[in-house]
C-alpha cells in the first residue's frame, strides 16, 4: 500500500456515494443477469445521457467492453485500426485478437491520436483479397497519452470511417475526463459526432467495478448479448453495477469526479513547470501527465510514491491524478522531488 499514488486512477478507492448506492441495492431479492427493475431503469438513463437512438449494456471490465464492441463489427478477415499506444494494442494481452480473430493494424502516432491522413494509406490494401480488410477505426478519448480529440476531430474521423465503409469505436475508459476537459455533454462527444459504439468507464473514476457500453447501430446490437456471455462479461448480480451507475449519473457525479482529477493534474503540472530539471512532454488536458524526470532521483521518489515508467530510454514517467487526489498530495510530492535535486 502507498499512502499516495500517481500510478493510475485505478489505484484510487471507491467514492462514498458509490458505496452507499451498493448498500442500498443490497436488500431483498431480484432477478439476475440484468432483468431487475433497477438495471432496466439505469440502462434507460444511460441511453438518454448519450442522446437516445442507442442501446446500453453493462460489462465487468474495460477490456471486456472493447472486445465485445469490436467483435460485434468484425469477422476474422477484418482489420481494426488503432494508435500504437492504444490500450487494445498495448495492455489487453491480445484479447481483441483472441476473441475476434481479426487483425489490429497499428499506426504510429506521436500524441496517441489518429487522423484520416494517418489511416488512409492503410486502406489501400482493402482492394486486395490477400490483405486484412479495414473495418473499424478504434480510438481512445482521452488517449493513453492524455491528449484529447476535439469534437471536430471526432466528427472528421467518424465521417471518414463511414465514407470508407467502416465504423468508429471510442474506448471511453476516461470518457468522463474528456467531457469535463472539453466542457461538453456526453451526447455532443458521441452521438452528435457520429460514433458507432462507445464505452463509459467507471472504475477509473470512483466506481468499484463495471463499465457501460453504448451501441448506435441497432441493426447489429442484438448480437451483443451473446458476445457478452461468451466473453464472461455477463455479471449475474447486475443490480450492483446498475446501482453504482445510478449514483454515478445522479448530479453528474461522473463529471464532478473527473473535473477534480483534471484540476489536480493541472495543478501538478503548474508546480512541475517551476522545476527546471523537469520536462512535461505532452499537453496536460485531462488527469494525466507525462514527465521526464532526472534519472538519478526517480528510484527514490518511487519508494514513496507509486508511478509508472512510460519510456525508460528517456526516463519519461506517467503521473495520474484521481477523484481523491488532494492538493496536499501534490504539494508533498513536489516538495520531495525538489528535495532530491
Same domain, 274 and 234: no
Reported for 246-249, long-range contacts at CB under 8 A and 24+ positions apart, including other chains, are: 246/21, 246/38, 246/41, 246/42, 246/45, 247/15, 247/17, 247/18, 247/20, 247/21, 248/18, 248/202, 248/205, 248/206, 248/207, 249/42, 249/45, 249/46, 249/49
Q: For residues 187-194, give the mean pLDDT.
A: 98
Give yes or no for residue 153 having a pLDDT over 90. yes
Q: For residues 33-51, give the mean pLDDT.
A: 98
**276-304 pLDDT, tens per residue?**
999 999 999 999 999 999 999 999 999 99
Number of domains within the chain: 2
Cell numbers at residue 320, please? 495520474
Q: Helix or strand or coil: residue 182?
A: helix
CATH number at residue 186: 3.40.640.10
* Residue at a domain's end among 188, 222, 251: 251
Q: What pLDDT score does 126 carry?
A: 82
- Confidence label for 2 from pLDDT (cuts 50, 70 and 90): confident
- Residue 29 CA to residue 236 CA, distance in Å, equals 13
Same domain, 315 and 245: no
Range of the domain at 189: 17-251
Q: For residues 9-17, give the mean pLDDT.
A: 95
Same domain, 142 and 196: yes
Same domain, 259 and 223: no
CATH number at residue 264: 3.90.1150.10
Give yes or no for residue 13 having a pLDDT over 90. yes
Is the distance from CB of 25 to CB of 242 less than 8 angstroms? yes
- Residue 50 CA to residue 48 CA, distance in Å, equals 5
- Residue 53 CA to residue 65 CA, distance in Å, equals 19
Q: What pLDDT score does 150 carry?
A: 98
Give yes or no for residue 1 having a pLDDT over 80. no
- Confidence label for 127 from pLDDT (cuts 50, 70 and 90): confident
Give yes or no for residue 197 having a pLDDT over 90. yes
Give yes or no for residue 47 having a pLDDT over 80. yes
Is the distance from CB of 181 to CB of 148 less than 8 angstroms? yes
Q: For residues 244-257, give the mean pLDDT.
A: 98
Q: What pLDDT score does 219 carry?
A: 83
Q: How far is CA 299 from CA 137, 185, 288, in A?
A: 38, 41, 20
Same domain, 194 and 319: no
Give yes or no for residue 221 having a pLDDT over 90. no
- Confidence label for 22 from pLDDT (cuts 50, 70 and 90): very high
Q: For residues 153-158, give the mean pLDDT.
A: 98
Same domain, 206 and 296: no
What percent of the chain is predicted at pLDDT more than 90? 95
Same domain, 191 and 52: yes
Q: What pLDDT score does 222 carry?
A: 80
Give yes or no for residue 128 having a pLDDT over 90. no
Is the distance from CB of 324 to CB of 12 less than 8 angstroms? yes
Same domain, 111 and 236: yes
Q: What pLDDT score does 80 carry?
A: 97
**53-110 pLDDT, tens per residue?**
999 999 999 999 999 999 999 999 999 999 999 999 999 999 999 999 999 999 999 9
Q: What is the DSSP letter of 267?
A: H
Amino acid at each position: 500500500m502507498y499512502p499516495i499514488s500517481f500510478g493510475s486512477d485505478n489505484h484510487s478507492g471507491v467514492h462514498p456515494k458509490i458505496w452507499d448506492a451498493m448498500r442500498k441495492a443490497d436488500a431483498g431479492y431480484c432477478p439476475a443477469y440484468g432483468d431487475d427493475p433497477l438495471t432496466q431503469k439505469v440502462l434507460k438513463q444511460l441511453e438518454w445521457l448519450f442522446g437516445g437512438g442507442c442501446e446500453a449494456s453493462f460489462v465487468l471490465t474495460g477490456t471486456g467492453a472493447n472486445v465485445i464492441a469490436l467483435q460485434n463489427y468484425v469477422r476474422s478477415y477484418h482489420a481494426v485500426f488503432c494508435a500504437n499506444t492504444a490500450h487494445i494494442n498495448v495492455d489487453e494481452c491480445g484479447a481483441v485478437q483472441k476473441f475476434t480473430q481479426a487483425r489490429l493494424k497499428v499506426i504510429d502516432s506521436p500524441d496517441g491520436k489518429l487522423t484520416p491522413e494517418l489511416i488512409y494509406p492503410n486502406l489501400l490494401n482493402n482492394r486486395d483479397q490477400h490483405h486484412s480488410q479495414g473495418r473499424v477505426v478504434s480510438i481512445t478519448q482521452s488517449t493513453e497519452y492524455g491528449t484529447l480529440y476535439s469534437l471536430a476531430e471526432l466528427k472528421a474521423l467518424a465521417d471518414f470511417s463511414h465514407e470508407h465503409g467502416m465504423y468508429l469505436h471510442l474506448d471511453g475508459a476516461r470518457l468522463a475526463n474528456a467531457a469535463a476537459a472539453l466542457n461538453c455533454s456526453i451526447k455532443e462527444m458521441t452521438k452528435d459526432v457520429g460514433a458507432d459504439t462507445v464505452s463509459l468507464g467507471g472504475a477509473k473514476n470512483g466506481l468499484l467495478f463495471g463499465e457501460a457500453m453504448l451501441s448506435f447501430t441497432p441493426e447489429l446490437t442484438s448480437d451483443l448479448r451473446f458476445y457478452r456471455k461468451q466473453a464472461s462479461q455477463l455479471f449475474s448480480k447486475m443490480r450492483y453495477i446498475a446501482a453504482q451507475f445510478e449514483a454515478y449519473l445522479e448530479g453528474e457525479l461522473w463529471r464532478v469526479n473527473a473535473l477534480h482529477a483534471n484540476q489536480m493534474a493541472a495543478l501538478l503540472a503548474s508546480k512541475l513547470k517551476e522545476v527546471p530539471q523537469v520536462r512535461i512532454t505532452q499537453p496536460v488536458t485531462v488527469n494525466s501527465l507525462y514527465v521526464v524526470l532526472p534519472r538519478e532521483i526517480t528510484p527514490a521518489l518511487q519508494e514513496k510514491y507509486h508511478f509508472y515508467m512510460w519510456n525508460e530510454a528517456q526516463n519519461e514517467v506517467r503521473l495520474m491524478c484521481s477523484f481523491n487526489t488532494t492538493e496536499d498530495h501534490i504539494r508533498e510530492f513536489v516538495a520531495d522531488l525538489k528535495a532530491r535535486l
